[in-house]
Structures are given as C-alpha cells and as structure tokens.
Structure 1
C-alpha cells in the first residue's frame, strides 16, 4: 500500500497533548478508510504537523482528517524509500 506524508500548517502553540489527541482521533476511525496512520510529528513554534501513513489514496487520508477536524493542507505520496 502506498505511503504518504501529510502536512498541516497554522498549528502554532500546539502542545504534546494536542498532538496526541489529534492522532488518537485519526486512529479511532482510520480503519473505515483502510488507512494506517504510523506517526505524527509537530513543530509547535513553526506551527507545522507532519503525519506518516499508509493508505489507498490521498483522498482517503483527507476524509479521515476532515472528519476529525484537522484537514491536511498538503498530502504527498512517498513512492521511493531506502
């Protein structure tokens, strides 16, 4: 299954607890779109969150994020891995 990195902007001041809650919300419904959210990282000072996942499509990822209230600003497929 393809891997993707999605990016969320304008998240300045995000706490560790905020990131954990957002990731948990995604995990709770990810199976409904056959998505596997692997990791999430954040830079609260820059206001950016990155999420790594496996999914059938970028659209499936976006549907999960929209339902959990944090639509991705960018979703990039990662076709090469070393």
Structure 2
C-alpha cells in the first residue's frame, strides 16, 4: 500500500504543478520536474503518470504519437 500512496502523492503533486504553471507537458518536461525534485527515477514513470491523469480526465492528450503532450482539462476531471 505504501507504493500506491507514494504514486498517488507524486501524481497529485504533478497535477498541482501543472495547474500552477499551465502550458504543454510532454513526458520530458515531467521527467525533468521529477528529477529535480527526486520524485521518480525515469521518463517511463513520467509518461505513465501523464497517461493516467488523462484517463482520469484531469489532462487532455494532444499531438501525434511521437510528439505527445498534455494540457490541463479546464472542464474538470474525475
């Protein structure tokens, strides 16, 4: 359960940063944030967190598959 809680905490912190900063969030930007704050070890984690937040409708997935980025869903989330 601790791992799930850590993952949820990380995603909630990420969503808070996205709400404050706005803009486009590709996995490389999230990974950079994670590295500087010591939140997660790799880009795959950043990508999966973005995908999960999009499935929960907090973010909107945009762009082509090889240039995917996410923006805040201003109409609300789950």
> Aligning the two structures, in what range does the TM-score lie when normalised by the shorter sequence?
0.3 to 0.5
Which structure has the higher relative contact order (CA within 8 Å, separation 6+)? 1
Q: TM-score, normalised by structure 1?
A: 0.36
Q: TM-score, normalised by structure 2?
A: 0.38
